[in-house]
Every structure is written in structure tokens, then in C-alpha cells.
A and B are shown apart, each in its own frame.
Chain A
Amino acid sequence: AQTVTQSQPEMSVQEAETVTLSCTYDTSESDYYLFWYKQPPSRQMILVIRQEAYKQQNATENRFSVNFQKAAKSFSLKISDSQLGDAAMYFCARGRGGNTPLVFGKGTRLSVIA
């Protein structure tokens, strides 16, 4: 089975500092999509950032950016200027395009320390 691996079950960061969450994936496809979703204590799943594999430029969304290393099949999420509201579970996911279902990693729980 093609998998998504998040090797850090838990991470913590000081408020205003930068943290990087790791994700590696397995795929035999040449065209695919990668995602980071955030799940705060409210349980709602919120899309943070999306990357198309054919694009070399790393996606950014305000304080959130990714380091996409296609050859290494690595897709890490960097959160800059961390805020208390960033505390959540973060899930990395991979999709093959079209309407194929996403495959999710097991998640990384991020704590933000004031």
C-alpha cells in the first residue's frame, strides 16, 4: 500500500518561533498532489496548504510554507512566527488527482508554548 509517514507524533514550539513538521510519502505516480491539513481541538479539518507535484516552486500561504523535495519524496511544513492558534494536530496527505481519495499520515500534534 502506498503510504504517508509522519515521523514526529508530537512537536512543540515557542510562540513567535519557527517549527518544521516532517512528512515523507510513497508513490509510483509522476503526477500527484500533496496537502497539509490542520485539526484544532474543535475537530474541524482545515486545509493549510496544497502542492502540485509538477510544480517545482514550493507553495506558501502566509506564515505556512512547504519544502517539497520530489526526488526524496519529502514534503515538510514550516510554520513561521508561531501563534497560540497554531496548536493543533497536523496531517500530511497525498492524492493522485481526479477524484481519487487522499491517503493521510498518522498526524503530528503541535503544541505552542507561550
Chain B
Amino acid sequence: TAGITQAPTSQILAAGRSMTLRCTQDMRHNAMYWYRQDLGLGLRLIHYSNTAGTTGKGEVPDGYSVSRANTDDFPLTLASAVPSQTSVYFCASSPQGTGANVLTFGAGSRLTVL
């Protein structure tokens, strides 16, 4: 089934350790996004990429980095995790043209930082 694959589904991480959340899409969408979901705060944008080779900062980028080496992959890295980064992370993508702005989401990655 076409869509977005996120890995891992769930992870417990010690504070100070690094972690990369993986995101792969097979729809050839130009734009990709990382959001974090926290209770009472909704979804907040971390980083985004409008096309391969470009990235941009969202609302809550501190402590996170991304890369977009090709169209399909958009990994999110936490260089040194802190407990406040405990959250559910969603990767999403959107096409150009008439479907623009319609996001397709992955299933999410639940990260717990202890």
C-alpha cells in the first residue's frame, strides 16, 4: 500500500543519547514535514522540506535536525535527547498541484526520553 512508513513505532531512550526517526514515502510527494503531538498542544511543526535538498524550520525546531538527500526520505535526528522531547512524532507529505496542502501522514513514532 502506497504511503508513508515511519520507524520505529515506539522507542524508549535515555536522556543524552542520540536518535534518528526514519520516514520514507513512496508517493513521490515533493514536500515532507515533521510534527510532534503533545496532549493539549495539538500538532506542532518541527521541520519541513519543500523539495529534495532544501529544509526549513518550523515552530519548535530546537534540539532537532533533518536532511532531505532525496525525494523519498526525510529523517529526523535528536542529537542529545531530553525528557521534554517525549512525544509522538508524525511524518507527513504533500504533493504539488491541486493536491497541495493535503497532507498524508505516517502512523507516528512514540518516543519516551527518560
Contacts and interface: CB of A to CB of B under 8 A. Distances in A.
Interface of A: 1, 6, 9, 33, 35, 37, 43-45, 47, 50, 91, 95-107
Interface residues of B, number: 27
Contacts of B90: 45
B45 interface: yes
21 contacts: A33-B101, A35-B101, A37-B103, A45-B92, A45-B105, A47-B102, A91-B42, A91-B43, A95-B100, A96-B101, A97-B100, A98-B101, A99-B30, A100-B101, A101-B33, A101-B58, A102-B103, A104-B43, A105-B42, A106-B42, A107-B42
Contact of A99 (B43, B50, B105, B108): B50
Interface of B: 30-31, 33, 35, 40-45, 48, 50-51, 58-59, 88, 90, 92, 94, 96, 100-103, 105, 107-108
B68 to A, nearest CB: 12
Nearest to A45: B105
B38 to A, nearest CB: 10
Q: Is the interface of A mostly helix, strand, loop or mixed?
A: loop
A6 B48 CA distance: 24
B100 A43 contact: no
Contacts of A98: 96, 100-101
B40 A106 contact: yes
A2 to B, nearest CB: 11
A52 B3 CA distance: 24
B40 A99 contact: no
B102 A43 contact: no
